[in-house]
Amino acid sequence: MRSAIKQIASARFGVTSYYLTNADELQIKMAQGAKPGEGGQLPGHKVDDWIAKVRHATPGVGLISPPPHHDIYSIEDLAQLIFDLKNANRAARINVKLVSKAGVGTIAAGVAKAHADVILVSGYDGGTGASPLTSIQHAGLPWELGLAEAHQTLVKNRLRSRVVLQTDGQLKTGRDIAIATLLGAEEWGVATAALVTAGCIMMRKCHLNTCPVGVATQDPELRKLFTGDPAHVVNLFQFLAEELREIMAELGFRTIEEMVGQSDALQMRPIDNADWKLKHVNLAPILYKEPNTGGTLYNTETQDHGLAHVLDHQLIEKAQPAILHNEPVFAQFEVKNTDRAIGTMLSNEISKVHKGTGLPADTINFKCFGSAGQSFGAFAAKGLSLTLEGEGNDYVGKGLSGAKLVIYPFGNINYVPEQNIIIGNVALYGATSGELYIRGKAGERFAVRNSGATAVVEGIGDHGCEYMTGGEVLVIGDTGTNFAAGMSGGLAWVYDVKGDFTKKCKRERVGLVRLQAGDTERITILLKNHIRLTNSRVAEFILSDWVNQSRHFVKVFPKEYKAVLVQRSLQVKIN
């Protein structure tokens, strides 16, 4: 379904090419004001059929959202995700959500340089319905502190005109919005007040699925109790705008642009007979007005996302017969490491025309030669087959949405492929469907938060299949440590010749079992596909001596997922 604003959070649940195509704004949620720096967990009893479908998960199996984005460990990584999302939807603004904290100004300056269109500074007071009690009581800061610091730092570094600055966190009146504007925001988020207008009574039971007024629950009986009326929300915003306009008239501002950042119109209320703490509060740093040394105090420039010369323009041109008439197309391209997010913009064009279904498999067949840049095949849609002869950087197949990716070394190599790394870190992050075949090793966090893609790889680094909730991963080589940490769904098969995999696997949530008949059949199919697509010598050897080599395979089976499958099979037998 279409929403004006869609979030890209750390778990990437259901973030497909089609999902990204249907929005006016894409918001990267770096953290939440009500629980900064924390992830989240959706218990299995709340994952009903509809939620599981939307999140590409299994009903009844709990879902874990990682605390960090595993493709963002620096401002440069954030710039890459912004670039990926802009390729995935050129018409959408890219918004980065930050939380109010000491030093948020420095972070906001980096985000502006990373080409975000919008920066949101979120306060600790909003959205606390499902946050941990300790976070509600002890974490986060008011939006006023973070907003003032972000605006002042952006002005000081001549970056303020590049971005729109937003804030949220319990803005409930026109006066709140006026203060936010004077401190530097030109857009504002009003959520809790709108929810209350729609019927929320703030029971703070959102996480229990027992909301008595049907606002935050999947229980169909409780949802019948919802009495919200959209007209009430419309009235709320009309009154907010009217109150804001009255305050602007009192202060002598005709437009929001004139008002943004004019903190000298604010003054600290005198404190008489206050307690010993309050009387020493000094708000001068918040009310400080940074001298404007260039640019404006509000957004007047458009960020240059560098899309004019991306390789995908050539891919889209070659793919027109397939996109418009479903005719198979074939083409070859030379690539280099500055060619980033190859296939992402093309997938956006596929999604516009063919929606979530995409094209029939292998309709668009493109072969690339060279060293591909970051995010090769990111959010690649169904019907697209990308083959890379060479090597890939980080984030291969990020958010894979049904495409087939094949990567193998150059034909003139003098090294052994299965002993060398051919792609970087964080491949298949948040992938929802599709296939990935790699002749060679991958880096760390392979298939992190995979929820539907199938992959064959000849060795991986640490943290493989972390937080995985679906899909299949076949590793015919060594693995690093911390394999399957937080894994709650999907299946993995590991070729454990050295017999040390049990020491490397995080076994709190998964069990290690021997292959069954269905596993043998599936692994055989994947190995044959891998040989056909990559000419893998390892896969050939395993199949040629299957009786002996099959004994080295270990099946990684999430316990919660297994329990749900057993329960389903029992229900089928009873029925």
pLDDT of 546 reads 96
Residue with tokens 């740093």: 285
pLDDT of 42 reads 82
pLDDT of 41 reads 81
Q: How far is residue 247's CA from residue 413's CA, in Å, rounded to a whole number?
A: 71
Q: What is the mean pLDDT of residues 353-370?
A: 97
Q: At a CB cut-off of 8 Å and minimum separation 6, what does 447 contact?
A: 427, 428, 431, 453, 455, 464, 465, 466, 468, 471, 473
Question: In CATH, what class is 5-192+255-269?
Answer: alpha beta
pLDDT of 36 reads 74
Residue 230: phi and psi, rounded to 5, are: -55, -30
Q: At a CB cut-off of 8 Å and minimum separation 6, what does 387 contact?
A: 365, 366, 367, 368, 405, 406, 407, 533
Q: At a CB cut-off of 8 Å and minimum separation 6, what does 379 contact?
A: 15, 16, 17, 20, 84, 88, 344, 347, 348, 398, 399, 400, 401
Q: How far is residue 457's CA from residue 437's CA, in Å, rounded to a whole number?
A: 6
Go through the chain and tell me how many residues it has: 575
Q: How far is residue 21's CA from residue 37's CA, in Å, rounded to a whole number?
A: 28
On whether the CB atoms of residues 458 and 441 are closer than 8 A, the answer is yes
On whether the CB atoms of residues 8 and 23 are closer than 8 A, the answer is no
Other CB atoms within 10 A of residue 291 CB? 6
Alpha helices in 400-491 (DSSP H): none
Give the pLDDT band (50/70/90) at residue 269.
Answer: confident
Q: What is the mean pLDDT of residues 443-467?
A: 97
CATH of the domain spanning 327-574: 2.160.20.60
pLDDT of 409 reads 97
Give the pLDDT band (50/70/90) at residue 281.
Answer: confident
Enumerate the CATH 3.20.20.70 domain ranges in the chain, comma separated. Answer: 5-192+255-269
Asked which of 104-113, 177-186, 289-298 is least confident by mean pLDDT, the reply is 289-298
Give the pLDDT band (50/70/90) at residue 314.
Answer: very high
* Side-chain half-sphere exposure of 211, counting CA atoms within 13 A: 25
pLDDT of 467 reads 95
Radius of gyration, CA atoms only, the chain: 26
Give the pLDDT band (50/70/90) at residue 572.
Answer: low
Q: What is the mean pLDDT of residues 546-552?
A: 95
Element (H, E) at 404: strand 401-408
Better-predicted residue by pLDDT, 80 or 517:
80
pLDDT of 279 reads 78
pLDDT of 350 reads 98
Please say if the pLDDT value at position 463 is more than 90. Answer: yes
- DSSP state, 483? B
Q: What is the mean pLDDT of residues 482-508?
A: 95
Instruction: Tell which residue, 145, 177, 143, 137, has the closest CA to residue 33.
Output: 143
- Per-residue b or e along 78-106, where b marks 16 or more CB atoms closer than 10 Å to that residue's CB: bbbbbbbbbbbbeebbbbbbbbbbeebbe
Burial, 286: exposed, middle or buried (Cβ in 10 Å; 0-12, 13-18, 19+)?
middle
CA 340 to chain centre: 18
Enumerate the CATH 2.160.20.60 domain ranges in the chain, comma separated. Answer: 327-574
Q: How far is residue 50's CA from residue 44's CA, in Å, rounded to a whole number?
A: 13
Please say if the pLDDT value at position 190 is more than 70. Answer: yes
Q: What is the mean pLDDT of residues 442-471?
A: 97
Q: Return the HEC string of 19-81.
A: HHHCCCEEEEECCCCCCCCCCEEECHHHCCHHHHHHCCCCCCCCEEECCCCCCCCCHHHHHHH
- DSSP state, 470? E
User: In whole numbers, what is the pLDDT of the chain averaged over residues?
Assistant: 93
502-522 tens-digit pLDDT: 999 999 999 999 999 899 999
Give the pLDDT band (50/70/90) at residue 202.
Answer: confident
- DSSP state, 495? E
pLDDT of 574 reads 66
Sheet containing 118-122: give its strands across.
5-8, 25-29, 93-99, 118-122, 164-168, 187-189
97-132 tens-digit pLDDT: 999 999 999 999 999 999 999 999 999 887 666 677
On whether the CB atoms of residues 372 and 391 are closer than 8 A, the answer is yes
